């Protein structure tokens, strides 16, 4: 009796393995990828190219692009490196949304055709590769390092910090510079000189660090329309962030600081005149 | 030798009218509804300053079906504005750390919304009590 009960338990356990409705990882399925192509030496403007790609349920969009490059069209250009949402290289517009190609799976998009475009709001170098020079310059411009309030010598020891002090900036340190937030930001689309959400997240990471003393230098950088003031709190930058960095929070915290700095700087200049 | 000729695609002209930006546009427009309501109140004050006849005409307008419809629409817009504003509130605030841990953004939104609802109910109750005693 006990044995038959055991057997039926085993049979129940095995049943899902034999279930014909379960997704078969090796079934030969294909999906259509519509990829925006642009070759600067041949094309006057980008145009869509279509590819039928065999796929399995564990395949990411990045793997599909690699499959195209390996078997269908070796000239397809796209950036990638880590395949695990850490390097931030494979950001692109997938069905109109800024996403990491390595972190987006074909099973969630099938059976409809998938549209793949380079990141919105950036100049296209070739196919899915965009120009990143301006973004890097913005990152460099916000002093992305700790500027100690009072520099210490090695003999004086390390700069200490409590876990609570670290909590204040820890999430901003998770940014992987994938630029998805810039592709989601309509104000960056309207004003390419706007410092933008990603650089502001990095700025906040350093300015809210208890060991840092570079707040004023960074506030001077973010004044005006090209600083924080192009932001209208659309908030989509935080929604598309694959690392939950919340750049919208970084920008808007600094709007308050920039406004206060504006009034304080007027007081300072009056003091210096008198 | 590879050629570099970056191509910048133009931003769609009516980006604000399309997904995913439509919710943002509606949130901002609901602020305009609040300004319209403030203008109606201001018009009432101006009528009050002009004398009893003008104020009576304003009261007559308030009781009209058109006015009731406008006020219903403005009330809906005001409630939507409050709701969406408190949804985005945590994005505009410094991070709050309580006993070494971050306070979650949804907790901040919910607390602020509840406070606004409580204040609105208290204000309404006050008007009902004061109104009954006049």
- B3 domain residue, yes or no: no
Closest in A38, A163, A233 to B100, CB measured? A163
The pLDDT assigned to B2 comes to 65
For the segment A252-273, the average pLDDT, to the nearest whole number, is 86
> The domain spanning residue B78 has which CATH number?
1.20.1300.10
Q: How many domains does chain B have?
A: 1
Query: Do the Cβ atoms of A162 and B100 come within 8 Å?
Result: yes
The pLDDT assigned to A11 comes to 46
For the segment B7-34, the average pLDDT, to the nearest whole number, is 94
The pTM of the full predicted model, rounded to 2 decimals, is 0.86
- B97 domain residue, yes or no: yes
- B73 domain residue, yes or no: yes
A123 → chain B, closest CA residue: B8
> What is the DSSP-derived secondary structure letter of residue B134?
-
Residues B50-94 pLDDT 10s: 999 999 999 999 999 999 999 999 999 999 999 999 999 999 999
Q: Does the structure show a pLDDT above 60 at A4?
A: no
Alpha-carbon gap: B4 to the closest alpha carbon of chain A (Å): 6
- B31 domain residue, yes or no: yes
Q: Which fold has domain A29-130?
A: Ubiquitin-like (UB roll) (3.10.20)
3-state SS, residue A82 = coil
Interface subset of B 84-113, CB within 8 angstroms of A: 88, 90-95, 97, 99-102
Query: Do the Cβ atoms of B6 and A131 come within 8 Å?
Result: yes
Residue of A67, A70, A66, A96 whose CA lies nearest to A79: A66
A233 close to B (CB below 8 A) = yes
- B119 domain residue, yes or no: yes
Q: Which fold has domain A133-273?
A: Fumarate Reductase Iron-sulfur Protein; Chain B, domain 2 (1.10.1060)
Distance, in Å, from the CA atom of A212 to the CA atom of A235, rounded to the nearest integer, reads 27
Interface subset of A 36-95, CB within 8 angstroms of B: 38, 40-41, 45-46
Q: Does the structure show a pLDDT above 70 at B125?
A: yes
Distance, in Å, from the CA atom of A51 to the CA atom of A73, rounded to the nearest integer, reads 9
The domain of B38 spans 15-133
Sign (positive or negative) of CA dihedral A118, A59, A114, A72 = positive
All CATH 3.10.20.30 domain ranges of chain A, comma separated, are 29-130
Query: Do the Cβ atoms of B91 and A234 come within 8 Å?
Result: no
In terms of DSSP H, where are the helices of chain B?
Answer: 22-50, 52-62, 65-92, 105-133
Would strands A124-126 and A47-55 be described as parallel, antiparallel, or unpaired? Answer: unpaired
Query: Do the Cβ atoms of B102 and A167 come within 8 Å?
Result: yes
The pLDDT assigned to A187 comes to 97
Closest in B11, B20, B101 to A236, CB measured? B20
Q: Does the structure show a pLDDT above 80 at A6?
A: no
For the segment A4-14, the average pLDDT, to the nearest whole number, is 47
Give me chain A's average pLDDT, please. Answer: 90
All CATH 1.10.1060.10 domain ranges of chain A, comma separated, are 133-273
Query: Do the Cβ atoms of A235 and B16 come within 8 Å?
Result: no
Residues A85-122 pLDDT 10s: 999 999 999 999 999 999 999 999 989 999 999 999 99
- B10 domain residue, yes or no: no
Instruction: For an interface test with A, give the residue of B92, B93, B104 to mutate (most A CBs within 10 A).
Output: B92
Least confident of A26-30, A62-66, B24-28: A26-30
Least confident of A15-29, A59-73, A203-217, B88-102: A15-29
Q: Does the structure show a pLDDT above 90 at A133?
A: yes
3-state SS, residue A80 = coil
Chains A and B: how many Cβ contacts under 8 Å?
A: 79
Query: Cis before residue A146, ω within 30 degrees of 0?
Result: no
Q: Does the structure show a pLDDT above 60 at A8?
A: no
Query: Do the Cβ atoms of B91 and A238 come within 8 Å?
Result: yes
For the segment B4-25, the average pLDDT, to the nearest whole number, is 94
Residues A165-188 pLDDT 10s: 998 899 999 999 999 999 999 999
Q: Across A57-61, A261-265, B126-130, which has the greatest mean pLDDT?
A: A57-61
């Amino acid at each position: 009796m006990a044995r038959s009960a055991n057997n039926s338990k085993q049979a129940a356990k095995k049943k899902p393995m034999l279930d014909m409705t379960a997704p078969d990882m090796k079934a030969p399925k294909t999906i259509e990828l519509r990829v925006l192509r642009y070759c600067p030496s041949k094309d006057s403007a980008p145009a869509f190219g279509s590819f039928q790609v065999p796929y399995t349920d564990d395949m990411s969009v990045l793997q599909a692009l690699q499959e195209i490059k390996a078997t269908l069209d070796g000239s397809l250009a796209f950036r990638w490196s880590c395949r695990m949402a850490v390097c931030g290289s494979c950001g692109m517009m997938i069905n109109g949304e800024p996403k990491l190609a390595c972190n987006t799976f074909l099973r969630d998009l099938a059976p409809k055709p998938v549209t793949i475009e380079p990141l919105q709001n950036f100049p296209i170098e070739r196919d899915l590769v965009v120009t990143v020079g301006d973004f890097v310059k913005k990152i460099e411009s916000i002093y992305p390092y700790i500027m100690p309030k009072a520099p210490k010598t090695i003999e004086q020891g390390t700069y200490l910090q409590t876990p609570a002090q670290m909590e204040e900036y820890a999430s901003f340190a998770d940014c992987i510079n994938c630029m998805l937030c810039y592709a989601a930001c309509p104000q960056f689309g309207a004003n390419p000189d706007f410092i933008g959400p990603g650089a502001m997240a990095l700025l906040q990471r350093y300015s809210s660090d208890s060991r840092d003393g570079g707040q004023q230098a960074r506030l001077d950088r973010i004044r005006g329309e090209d600083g924080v003031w192009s932001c209208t709190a659309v908030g989509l930058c935080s929604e598309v962030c694959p690392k939950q960095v919340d750049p919208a929070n970084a920008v808007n915290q600094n709007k308050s600081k920039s406004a206060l700095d504006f009034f304080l700087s007027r007081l300072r200049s009056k003091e210096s005149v008198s | 030798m590879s050629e570099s000729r970056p191509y910048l695609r133009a931003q769609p002209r009516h980006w604000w009218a399309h997904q995913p930006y439509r919710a943002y546009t509606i949130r901002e427009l609901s602020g305009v509804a609040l300004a319209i309501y403030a203008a109606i109140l201001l018009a009432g004050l101006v009528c009050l300053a002009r004398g009893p006849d003008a104020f009576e005409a304003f009261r007559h307008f308030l009781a009209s079906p058109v006015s009731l419809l406008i006020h219903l629409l403005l009330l809906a817009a005001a409630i939507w504005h409050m709701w969406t504003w408190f949804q985005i509130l945590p994005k505009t605030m410094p991070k709050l750390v309580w006993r070494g841990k971050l306070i979650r953004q949804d907790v901040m939104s919910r607390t602020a919304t509840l406070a606004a609802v409580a204040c609105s109910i208290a204000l309404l109750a006050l008007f009902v009590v004061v109104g009954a005693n006049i």
